Amino acid sequence: MNGTTDRSTAERTTSSEDLTDELPKDRYSERELSWLAFNNRVLDLARDAGRIPLLERAKFTAIFSSNLDEFFMVRVAGLKRRIDAGVAVPSVTGMRPRELYDAMLTRIHELVASQAALFQDEILPALRAEGIDLLRWGQLTADERARMDELFTERIYPVLTPLAVDPSHPFPYISGLSLNIGVLLRNPANEARQFARIKVPGILDRFIRLAPTRFVPLEEVIIKHLSELFSGMQVASSCVFRVTRNEDVEVEEDDAENLLFALEKELLRRKVGRPPVRLEVEETVSDELLELLAGELDISEREIFRLPAPLDLTGLFDLADVDREDLKYPNFLPKTHPDLAPVETSSEADLFKAIKRHDVLLHHPYDSFATSVQRFVEQAASDPHVLAIKQTLYRTSGDSPIIDALIEAAEAGKQVLALVEIKARFDEQNNIAWARKLERHGVHVVYGMIGLKTHCKLILVVRDEPDGLRRYAHIGTGNYNPKTARQYEDMGLLTCNPIVTDDVSRLFNHLSGMTAETSYRRLLVAPNGVRSGIIEAIDREIEHERAGRRARIRIKVNSIIDEQVIDALYRASRAGVQVDLWVRGICGIRPGVPGLSENIRVISVLGRFLEHSRIFWFENDGHPAVGIGSADMMHRNLDRRVEAIVSITNQRHIDEIGELFDLAFDEDSVSWRLHDRLWRPDTRDADGGPKLDIQEHLIARTAERRQTTRTPRRTLFIQRPGVLPDR
């Protein structure tokens, strides 16, 4: 794992290849169907009235819809485009493209029908019972109708733009995910029929607040006032509809200089000319109106989804903000990690002094991002002894204090490098804007590498101290985004270990200067080293097991679909190694299959926080080799991204990570468990009571942590032979 291949490694590789030949051909699960299974687990949270507060159930319903929107825009659209172009090939499971496309749509129709029934039959009545009403026009009081009449005249009518279709007005372009009203009009003079479209303005609130807990959809108000928009015409029928288009970005990266401009051009092209992949309509739509919409949009019957009103349940994000704390998760305030500040105070801790004492392993959102990573950058920016700051930026918030800190540092004369990944899907426009702002203020901005996304999470600070220059680093699993850091579960390592900081420094030089660096001592770096390093560690566990030594593999990732890694895990299972996989999203492995994966367990944990950290644990005969980083076990991460995994060498940190795995796989903890290709929720004990919610347990433990005296063990600043080393 130090960039060289010794004899034993070569022998292991040969042996591995021989064993792979023996594995069954149907050993993988279909990626796209596995993702749909993940989104069904999100819907399970909306279904769980026993554990999940009501407004949180509404929010999970919105998350399900938001997830599905992105799935259509990228995965469904991409497959359809390849089929239409005649370049689609069978998937790794052997499914033909058209077969897979049909299977995806069949499952999506089932899931969407389940969501609609859940919302209409359970969540809406439960909200109503709590005094929270989402109303149709017929349910409004006379006074409320009068107020809506006035609101329409004064606030809504002026911003509407009805577009009629006739020989001089072609069918309008329907932007993706916009909410629209289709209207069939009848001319009373000659009985001629005409189509018109009204775009529901996104600048106005989707749900109009009639009272603190009474709402009516904006489109409902507009529909009841159509006669005012089309005076002299009769409304034959109307319906709300929504179109989803292909929104994936395609950029030819000819050279780095033109990458930014190429992406801006592609983003402009994204706004028009993207083919539709889904049409959502109200179930009450007339046959005539539906036929017109389907024909104009060139949408097939299978791509049409007839749903009860209201469409677009992502609007429930707004409803979930109702001031009813008794119907939400209890408030949670992240705490400053005790290794950074043993006592909570209003004054800022000296992070450089704390990191010099020992490495700090952060676990967000339980450990505050603001008082750790964010403060680390802010202190570096204001510290006169700091000479340089280097940072990768994949996604960040629109009002990021980290961006402000980098600008402050540059204006103070420090050398500041920001590696901004402008190809971060759906955040491209934001990242372009931030990149240009940083450049204007003197920050050296690098736009990533040709052909690769820079996905690693790295900060390097160079500080002039009495005993010479010292480098400090943060290597994490999550984005440098203060907003999502409160919602995403992630880990990060703060360190001044000279071996780690030298690795990080050389990696930054590789990214900014296009060096040919491939060898690191405490890092695994993709695309050259992560897959090989992980497989080497798996093979080492197989050797331990065969020799009668302690062996176990524990991995936590968002997704695992890389065939080489999966095959290595199958070989480990066949050799008798216990393999525990904690997977939030897509899982291409089939656990519990006789003769293949009896020793593999797969769980998924979903809850109030999005599980996002990637952790790798190898028992290594009682001397665990452990790493955290940004890489999922997916082709894009291992082959087309710059990723970094750092080894953890502090024994206390290793113990903490081990305890986290123990907690997740405990039979008394809430999880979803995978057997072969079927996920089952495991949320209740034998008596029907709720099992332990891992995230709520960690919240409680964080609150109690400062009540216990901690004596941190010092990190040993010694060189290891690799990122997941023999200890």
How far is it, in rounded angstroms, from Cα 210 to Cα 221? 12
Question: In this structure, what token pair is assigned to residue 139?
Answer: 């349910």
Q: Where is 226: in which H helix or E strand? A: helix 226-229
Query: Of the listed 364, 455, 474, 612, which one is catalytic?
Result: 455
Question: In this structure, what token pair is assigned to residue 190?
Answer: 């000659």
Residue that has been written with the tokens 């176990």 in this structure: 552
Number of H helices, E strands in the chain: 22, 27
Question: In this structure, what token pair is assigned to residue 717?
Answer: 């600043």
Asked about 385 being catalytic, the answer comes back as no
The total number of residues written for the chain in this structure: 727
How far is it, in rounded angstroms, from Cα 293 to Cα 177? 15
Give, as one character, the DSSP assignment of residue 199: E
CA–centroid distance for 86 within its chain: 31
Q: Residue 217 forms beta bridges with which residues?
A: 207
Q: Residue 452 forms beta bridges with which residues?
A: 449
How far is it, in rounded angstroms, from Cα 501 to Cα 460? 7
How far is it, in rounded angstroms, from Cα 243 to Cα 77? 12
* In 68-177, beta strands by DSSP E: 133-134, 163-165
Instruction: Decide if 452 contacts 642 (C-beta within 8 A).
Output: yes
How far is it, in rounded angstroms, from Cα 311 to Cα 381? 47
Contacts of 460 (CB under 8 A, 6+ apart): 388, 389, 390, 391, 471, 472, 473, 501, 504, 505, 508
Question: In this structure, what token pair is assigned to residue 507?
Answer: 């990696």
Helices 694-705 & 651-665 angle (0-180, nearest 10): 140
Dihedral (CA of 8, 14, 19, 24) sign: positive
Instruction: Decide if 481 contacts 403 (C-beta within 8 A).
Output: no
Q: Show the DSSP H helices in 339-454 as ranges.
A: 351-357, 375-382, 401-411, 428-440
How far is it, in rounded angstroms, from Cα 649 to Cα 626? 8
Question: Is the bond into 125 cis (omega within 30 degrees of 0)?
Answer: no
Instruction: Please state, in angstroms and as integers, the Cα–Cα distance from residue 699 to each residue in 45, 321, 380, 704, 720, following that order.
Output: 19, 22, 29, 9, 34
How far is it, in rounded angstroms, from Cα 433 to Cα 437? 6
Under DSSP, is residue 127 helix (H, G, I), strand (E, B) or coil? helix
How far is it, in rounded angstroms, from Cα 727 to Cα 721? 9
Question: In this structure, what token pair is assigned to residue 223?
Answer: 């529909």
How far is it, in rounded angstroms, from Cα 576 to Cα 570? 10
Give the torsion through C-alpha atoms of 204, 209, 210, 212, to 10 deg.
-160
User: Which residues does the annotation mark as catalytic?
Assistant: 455
